[in-house]
Amino acid sequence: MADSSVINVSIVTPDGKVYEHTADMIVVSTQSGQLGIMANHEPVIATLDVDETRVKHDNNEDEIAVNGGFIEFSNNAATIVADSAECQSDIDVARAENARQRAERLIEAARKQNDKQALDRAQVALRRAINRINVAKK
């Protein structure tokens, strides 16, 4: 095992590697609650919510909007695989605000039409937009 006081964090999406850094701690939102992982934590595989991931290193914290996916941690390496993820500085807030408004309109239309699939899709799109807005505004 490498240096046992830090962990290596990487976040990958189909577009490639979005984030990579060594860290003292990573905090993620799993479907069963928040999870903080430090060096030498036991191995983990967990499904992630659409929420921020916080990476603490050098008395700093990086925030990344992670839109679902999963985390795998073993041997002090944390890998997050997600459909999409954006570092705070890469988030286009105007785009996310447009996406939020579009999703809200789609939710209203889907409710009127009793279209459960369209409602599910729009609700997930809304969560992604809100996640991006929240992370960008931290």
Binding site for ligand ATP (CB under 6 A): 15, 67, 84, 86, 90-92, 95-96, 99, 125, 128, 132
The DSSP string of 23-81 is ESEEEEEETTEEEEEETTPPPEEEEBPEEEEEEEETTEEEEEEEES-EEEEETTEEEEE
Give burial (CB, 10 Å; 0-12/13-18/19+) of 114.
exposed
Whose Cβ is closer to ligand ATP: residue 14's or residue 43's? Answer: 14
Whose Cβ is closer to ligand ATP: residue 71's or residue 135's? Answer: 135
Whose Cβ is closer to ligand ATP: residue 32's or residue 89's? Answer: 89
